[in-house]
Chain A
Amino acid sequence: MKTNELIRACTLTVVLVILCVLSLELYWRGRGFVPTFNDDKVLWSTKRKEVYLPATDATVFIGGSRIKFDLDVPTWERLTGERAIQLAIVGTPARLILRDLANDKDFKGKLIIDVAEPQFFSFPDSTQRDRFALDALGYYYDETPAQRASASINYFLESKLVFLEEGKFSITSLLNKLNITNRLGVNPPPYSFTPVEFGVSNFNRQQWMTPMFLADPTLQKKQKDFWMRGIKRASPIKGDTLHAFLEQTKKAIDKIRARGGKVVFIRPPSDGPYIEMENRVYPRQKYWDYLLEYTSTPGIHYADYPGTANLICAEWSHLTLQDAATYTTQLVKILREEKNWTFPRKSAETAQFLNP
């Protein structure tokens, strides 16, 4: 092939690629999406590096998806003057992350642990159940300088382009969401039943349900149907396994407290068949209350406070962005007034806001 033909081929390639990328971007924007961040191990690792901030400057959150939706980071930061370091991982028990922070001698800060019973009470470690946490921790400890540089470029691009969110718009994610029947006994790919409109994430790893999801009962039903699969399969740990789990949790918390850190458990709201299952399979006295007693750790259960008891979860498990702000406000108030947490950077201002 002649050189001028190669140049022509290259030029047309550039034009076709640009056209395709533009079409893709416009398509997803046309469906109501805005640029958000891929909530993956790279972003988690970026946040994990922030846990060494002094206790007066930050609070770390671990757990599953509920705290990711229910904690409104801007509200938290406005009321406390501190950073909210979101290390919770969707669909993942807090166990491994708690152990990692406990074993990190340089972590001496404040820690809030989200308890959604079916996820939280899990033992022992499992390469399947803990895979996202294992991935995230593995990446954090093995991250190379080149990966750090790539992450920075990636964050810039993700902040500008909608279609770059791998978890939603990559070939794999889209193929996995095709409605193809599986053979009996085969588990579908992870999150294949979750609508792309369900949750999006920002750079602070806060998640929220999109307006498209909240406006569409069909999408909500799809998500509820997905939850029902987990609700039907719930199988609690009991007896020796439960004790082994509690013992391990206590040891981890004691390590953090021994270094001057503070730990609080929180139980965010849930609704409908979810709360029915959680109350039935994980009776409060045998799990939540026992957890607080065994680990000698304070806890905040949403049902104990009028300001949070009546919050409604749109799809039984997570709060809307608006309710997340309400929940976060109440959380700061309870921590400050009842659990003796101080937020020196915004103490007076917060007190005035919470008790006008």
Chain B
Amino acid sequence: MIFNSYTFIAFFILILIVHNLPFSWKTKKINLLLASYIFYAAWNPPFIILLWISTLIDYFVGKQLYFEENKAKRKLLLAASLIGNLGMLGYFKYGGFVLENFVNLAAMIGVDFHPAQPNIILPVGISFYTFQTLSYTLDMYRKSSPPEKSLLDFSLFVTFLPQLVAGPIVRPGQLIPQFKEPHSANTQQLMQGLFLLSLGLFMKSVLADTLLASSADAVFAAPMPLSAVDAWLGVLAFSGQIFFDFGGYSTCAIGIALCLGFTLPDNFRYPYAAIGFSDFWRRWHITLSTWLRDYLYIPLGGNRKGEARTYLNLMITMLLGGLWHGAAWTFVVWGALHGTYLCVEKLIRERFVSTPKPPEPLAETPVVVQASIAPTVFRGNSFNNFILAMFTFFLVNVTWVFFRATDFSTAWRLLTSMFGQTDKGAALLPTIDMIKVTTVVTLMVIAHWLMRNTSVLVVAQKMKWWLISIVWSLMIIGLIVSQKSGDSFIYFQF
């Protein structure tokens, strides 16, 4: 079930009603758990078994891990959990990729190997809930928090419907404590939640799907070299599309949770206003970047084992982060580019910038402040910062080429077109699409810059009630007249 569908709207109204009936807190949690299973099963019912397996493995192994003192047994238990979780992820997400590369490798050494083509369907959201349950297991292994006693609360932590299939990736400590006490939204939370849900749907259905998707799709599907204008507009369209799509999902998730009385962490903080790449990763997919930092970068040694190891650890983290997004070498290159940018930025900061100022306090949500893999780098006056932000945006767009292209030849064709390295690049986009992309992307960048140190709810708090109403109405009317219901969110495939 996806948020931008009639089914979900009807389902959500039902959940809200049931959640506010005078049941016991335990009954309400059971209702939420059942609703979450129905929400997930509405895609492909058999895959719900994977959720149950993941839940049971981590619940029981986690408990054993915490209380077991024998080091060898602890490692064995950890291995069992990792094999269980990463095994499922590996089979469903990377099975075909591994086989394809094995065949190519065999061909390179002269072995003609033709295995049966695997027909593996990727369960929606498997990367997200696998990382979420892994964080619990790893916390148990480190004994950084006590194990969860209630199977119901733990199951709800794994399955909580707003963030089940595309995040935010929530840590046990952020969600499980909320299940301990009765939660239901007060009027203010309900209104704010509905506003965020409307905003998220507007971002997804109107901005991403209606105004940007067709241009990005056309440019990335073009089999011929394009003019620089068309190539850039296609990449910029994708840049906007992926933000509005994924940011829209996170905004919906946060809004839905708020309507039920729960708080989820921020996942995006106006990333296209980022000054440098450490700042970008403090603003883009925050819950993934913090996960990678805490469970991969730091365990690898972080910056504690010398300069060379720090750079190596950064690269490994970003390469695996790239592979997390998809089973293709283009995603690895995307991660490698981000890793390189981060390394170069760190190098410049350490060699040429004498006293970097500490990060600006990015509002209330502590996760944002914790988010970076490396700290903030450049500071200066507003104009310099804007120029640096635009340079960062430019480099981010180059990475999106590898993220969106289905293969390297497409990526290369597009890059050569973008940088004017083709003789006769074709004109592709109709004028109306050029106008749509230019307008939306320009407004997006301006909005990101103006909002970079605040949040939607903080701004909304300061607005007159009638102005909020006009903005809210325009978003809902935009949703109704765009009529773009039913298109899946891009991040579901990850």
Query: What is the interface of chain A, defined by CB distance below 8 A to chain B?
Result: 1, 3, 5-10, 12-13, 16-17, 20-21, 24, 42, 127, 144-147, 149-150, 153-154, 157, 163-164, 166, 169-172, 175-176, 178, 180-189, 192
Say yes or no: B432 contacts A180, CB within 8 Å.
yes
Within 8 A of A (CB), among B182-221: 186-188, 191-192, 194, 206, 210-211, 214, 221
Task: For A21, list chain B residues within 8 Å (CB).
Answer: 477, 480
B178 contacts chain A at the CB level, 8 A cutoff: no
Task: For B466, list chain A residues within 8 Å (CB).
Answer: 8-9, 12
Contact (A1, B460) CB under 8 Å given A180-B432, A186-B428: yes
A-B CB contact pairs (8 Å), 15 listed: A12-B465, A12-B473, A20-B473, A20-B477, A20-B480, A21-B477, A145-B45, A146-B7, A150-B6, A164-B483, A170-B210, A178-B432, A182-B430, A182-B431, A189-B430
Task: For A188, list chain B residues within 8 Å (CB).
Answer: 430
Task: For B44, list chain A residues within 8 Å (CB).
Answer: 144
Contact (A189, B5) CB under 8 Å given A10-B194, A16-B470, A170-B484: no
Say yes or no: B429 contacts A153, CB within 8 Å.
no
- Bound-state CA distance A1–B463 (Å) is 8
Say yes or no: A153 contacts B7, CB within 8 Å.
yes
Residue of chain B at shortest CB distance from A165: B483
Apart from A144-B42, A186-B431, list 7 A-B contacts with CB within 8 A: A1-B468, A13-B469, A13-B472, A16-B473, A145-B41, A157-B6, A180-B432
Nearest CB in chain B: distance from A189 CB, A: 5
Among A9, A20, A145, A154, point to the contact of B6 (Cβ < 8 A).
A154
- Bound-state CA distance A166–B479 (Å) is 12
Task: For A24, list chain B residues within 8 Å (CB).
Answer: 481
The total of chain B residues at the interface (CB under 8 A) is 53
Task: For B211, list chain A residues within 8 Å (CB).
Answer: 171
- Bound-state CA distance A16–B475 (Å) is 11
B82 contacts chain A at the CB level, 8 A cutoff: no
Task: For B461, list chain A residues within 8 Å (CB).
Answer: 1
- Bound-state CA distance A5–B469 (Å) is 10
- Bound-state CA distance A349–B187 (Å) is 65
B448 contacts chain A at the CB level, 8 A cutoff: no
For the residues of B in contact with A, the DSSP-based class is helix
Say yes or no: B482 contacts A170, CB within 8 Å.
yes
Nearest CB in chain B: distance from A182 CB, A: 5
- Bound-state CA distance A9–B480 (Å) is 19
B478 contacts chain A at the CB level, 8 A cutoff: yes
Say yes or no: A183 contacts B431, CB within 8 Å.
yes
Among B187, B426, B465, B486, point to the contact of A147 (Cβ < 8 A).
B486
Residue of chain B at shortest CB distance from A184: B427
Task: For A181, list chain B residues within 8 Å (CB).
Answer: 431
Among B41, B186, B432, B473, point to the contact of A189 (Cβ < 8 A).
B432
Say yes or no: B430 contacts A13, CB within 8 Å.
no
Task: For B436, list chain A residues within 8 Å (CB).
Answer: 175
Nearest CB in chain A: distance from B211 CB, A: 8
Within 8 A of A (CB), among B279-315: none
- Bound-state CA distance A16–B470 (Å) is 8
- Bound-state CA distance A21–B460 (Å) is 25
- Bound-state CA distance A172–B207 (Å) is 11
B476 contacts chain A at the CB level, 8 A cutoff: yes
Among A10, A127, A171, point to the contact of B206 (Cβ < 8 A).
A171
B10 contacts chain A at the CB level, 8 A cutoff: yes
Task: For B476, list chain A residues within 8 Å (CB).
Answer: 13, 17
Q: Can you list, as one digit per residue, whether each of B404-432 has a CB less than 8 Å from chain A (1) or not (0)?
A: 00000000000000000000001111111
- Bound-state CA distance A12–B436 (Å) is 29
Task: For A186, list chain B residues within 8 Å (CB).
Answer: 427-431
Say yes or no: A150 contacts B483, CB within 8 Å.
no
Residue of chain A at shortest CB distance from B462: A1
Say yes or no: A146 contacts B43, CB within 8 Å.
yes
Say yes or no: B5 contacts A146, CB within 8 Å.
yes
Nearest CB in chain A: distance from B26 CB, A: 28
B2 contacts chain A at the CB level, 8 A cutoff: yes
Say yes or no: B430 contacts A187, CB within 8 Å.
yes
Task: For A189, list chain B residues within 8 Å (CB).
Answer: 214, 430, 432-433
B485 contacts chain A at the CB level, 8 A cutoff: yes
Nearest CB in chain A: distance from B212 CB, A: 11
- Bound-state CA distance A180–B430 (Å) is 9
Task: For A154, list chain B residues within 8 Å (CB).
Answer: 6, 485
B1 contacts chain A at the CB level, 8 A cutoff: yes
From B5, B10, B468, B469, name the one whose CB has the most chain A CB atoms within 10 angstroms: B469
Task: For B435, list chain A residues within 8 Å (CB).
Answer: 180
Among A20, A147, A184, point to the contact of B5 (Cβ < 8 A).
A147
- Bound-state CA distance A42–B186 (Å) is 39
Task: For A146, list chain B residues within 8 Å (CB).
Answer: 1-2, 5, 7-8, 42-43
- Bound-state CA distance A184–B431 (Å) is 11
- Bound-state CA distance A127–B476 (Å) is 34
Task: For B194, list chain A residues within 8 Å (CB).
Answer: 10
Say yes or no: B430 contacts A16, CB within 8 Å.
no
Say yes or no: A7 contacts B221, CB within 8 Å.
no
Residue of chain A at shortest CB distance from B433: A189
- Bound-state CA distance A297–B22 (Å) is 68
Among B8, B187, B430, point to the contact of A3 (Cβ < 8 A).
B187
Say yes or no: B485 contacts A17, CB within 8 Å.
no
Task: For A42, list chain B residues within 8 Å (CB).
Answer: 486
Say yes or no: A175 contacts B42, CB within 8 Å.
no
Task: For B186, list chain A residues within 8 Å (CB).
Answer: 3
Task: For B191, list chain A residues within 8 Å (CB).
Answer: 3, 6-7, 9-10
Among B188, B432, B480, point to the contact of A176 (Cβ < 8 A).
B432
Within 8 A of A (CB), among B1-55: 1-2, 5-8, 10, 41-45
Nearest CB in chain A: distance from B120 CB, A: 14
Nearest CB in chain A: distance from B222 CB, A: 11
- Bound-state CA distance A144–B46 (Å) is 12
Nearest CB in chain B: distance from A24 CB, A: 7
Among A5, A178, A184, point to the contact of B465 (Cβ < 8 A).
A5
Task: For B433, list chain A residues within 8 Å (CB).
Answer: 189
Task: For A169, list chain B residues within 8 Å (CB).
Answer: 481, 483
- Bound-state CA distance A182–B45 (Å) is 47
Say yes or no: A145 contacts B42, CB within 8 Å.
yes
Task: For B210, list chain A residues within 8 Å (CB).
Answer: 170-172
